[in-house]
Chain A
Amino acid sequence: MPSSRTIGSTALAVVLATAVAGLAAGQTPARSAPTAADWAALAKLPDFTGVWEVGFGAAGGRGAGGGRGSRAGGPPAGPQLTPAYAEKRRARLANPPEDSQAANCLPPGMPGIMGQPYPMEFLLTPGLVTIVIEAYTQVRHIYTDGRPLPEDPDPKFHGTSIGRWEGDTLVVETVGFSPQTDIAANTPHSEKMKIVERFRLADADTMTIETTVTDPEALAAPWVSNRTLRRHRAWTIAEYICEENNRNSVDANGKAGINIKK
């Protein structure tokens, strides 16, 4: 039986290790309290507030799961893959699952979550743009307080995002994506994927998002896609609990199912 002193030392070590780990993560630098001037500054920015829905016009591309949306000039080009990732895609398509994990209510993550047939709401507060996404009840946090991108981010479905204003355009850089997300359907990414989004108002109630995906391991060239969103001033974001009554599924072998037991 260890002495109480040993236990005490162990406990102290655990506390210290936890504290160091917390510091090492270093992804939430202290933010100063917003001032009245910070709030007033928001009024000078383009008005992104409110609820927006991605357009699904006839030109809506489907070359990529994440690339849906309105786009002028014909179908959008899909991502150009490096030979190694083209091979990975071929391997997946050789025995493709009948459905994605979304059938089991797993959200798609970035970039696919930005192309869902459900609206999203933009909230601007000092140092932060928040996107509330109705589909799967998701949220993205885009830090506009000047912090840098993390050097060694944890992998996340939505990555880690920072943003800055270039004139009237919100430029968002995102890194650090979970391997469970795809660039596009059946198209995996590497740890080096980076997504840059440029949000701007095309007119009073129209927003465009230009999305550029780079990945030196997976993509032979940057993949650029465009979406157009329409603002619905009267809409509110509705509840979307995917597990409420999900009767669809896909099993480990990729077989799609549906439960019609009443």
Chain B
Amino acid sequence: MKICRFGDLVICRSGLVIAALAMAGTTLLAHHSFAAFDMTKEQTITGVVSRFDWTNPHTFIWVDVTSEKGVTESWAIEGMSPNYLGRRGWSKNSVKPGDKITVSIRPLKEGKTGGMFIRAQIGDRVLMPTGTPTDER
């Protein structure tokens, strides 16, 4: 088994063991607390990306999720900043409108359609929020 090294390869091939993920914990979110999120839950949603905000202080992946009944809702997935992620292999092109995406999140409280990014998969690419920074930027 191979463990992805996120510093030089944030986007790993699927099927590999992902370790030490979702450390977007106490030390990483300087800008705000976790009060809006249910940190005891992990939820996975699948949908189509409608927009990717490569913006400070947080990135947002907007995902259209269609239920079995055919109702489509927009989900807002908050991630780390472009400054932080950009030094760890991400770019503004890591997520594109039209991408079919599966995202694991800490859901917002009160049943709102959003959450905090844990990890995502687009095709055979896995996107992680953390890792050792690269030196190439």
Q: Do A and B bind each other?
A: yes
Interface residue ranges, A against B (CB under 8 Å): 53, 56, 60, 62, 68, 98-100, 102-103, 105, 116-118, 134-135, 232-236, 238-242, 244-248, 250, 256-258, 260, 262
Partner of B81, one of A102, A240, A258, A262: A240
**What's the least CB distance linking B133 to chain A, in Å?**
7
Complex CA distance for A18 and B5, rounded to whole angstroms: 60
Complex contacts, A68 vs chain B, CB 8 Å:
27
Bound Cα distance A250, B136 (Å)? 36
* CB-CB nearest in chain A for B53: A245
In the complex, per-residue mask of B34-48: 1 if CB is within 8 Å of any chain A CB, else 0: 011000000000000
Stretch at the interface among B8-16, B96-104, B107-115: B107-115
With A232-B133, A232-B135, A240-B57 in contact, is A256–B35 under 8 Å at CB?
A: yes
B108 CB to closest chain A CB (Å) equals 7
**B36 and A100 within 8 A (CB):** no
Q: Which residues of A contact B26 (CB under 8 A)?
A: 62
Instruction: Identify which of A102, A234, A256, A260 contacts B30 (C-beta below 8 A).
Output: A102
Q: By the criterion of a CB under 8 Å from any partner CB, how many residues of chain B are at the interface?
A: 35
Question: Would you call the interface of chain B mostly helix, strand, loop, or mixed?
Answer: loop
A242–B56 touching, CB < 8 Å: yes
* Listed A/B pairs (26) with beta-carbon separation below 8 Å: A62-B27, A98-B35, A100-B32, A100-B33, A102-B31, A103-B32, A103-B33, A117-B27, A117-B28, A118-B30, A232-B135, A234-B136, A235-B137, A238-B82, A238-B86, A239-B56, A240-B81, A245-B58, A246-B57, A247-B58, A247-B78, A256-B35, A257-B36, A258-B112, A260-B112, A262-B62
Please indicate the chain A residues that have their CB under 8 angstroms from the CB of B55 in the complex: 244-245
Q: Is the beta-carbon distance between A248 and B36 smaller than 8 angstroms?
A: yes
Chain A, interface SS category: loop
Q: Considering the chains assembled together, what is the distance between the CA atoms of A258 and B137 in angstroms? A: 31
In the complex, are the beta carbons of A262 and B27 less than 8 A apart?
A: no
Q: How far, in angstroms, from A70 to B44 measured CA to CA in the complex?
A: 33
**Residue from A62, A234, A260 within 8 A of B108 (CB atoms):** A260
Q: Which of B32, B81, B86 is in CB contact (< 8 Å) with A248?
A: B32
Q: Are B31 and A242 in contact (CB under 8 A)?
A: yes
B60 proximal to A (CB < 8 A) = yes
Given contacts A62-B27, A241-B56, contact A260 B32 (CB under 8 A): no
Q: Are B58 and A248 in contact (CB under 8 A)?
A: yes
Cross-interface CB contact of B135 among A135, A234, A242, cutoff 8 Å: A234
Are B57 and A244 interface neighbours, CB within 8 A? yes
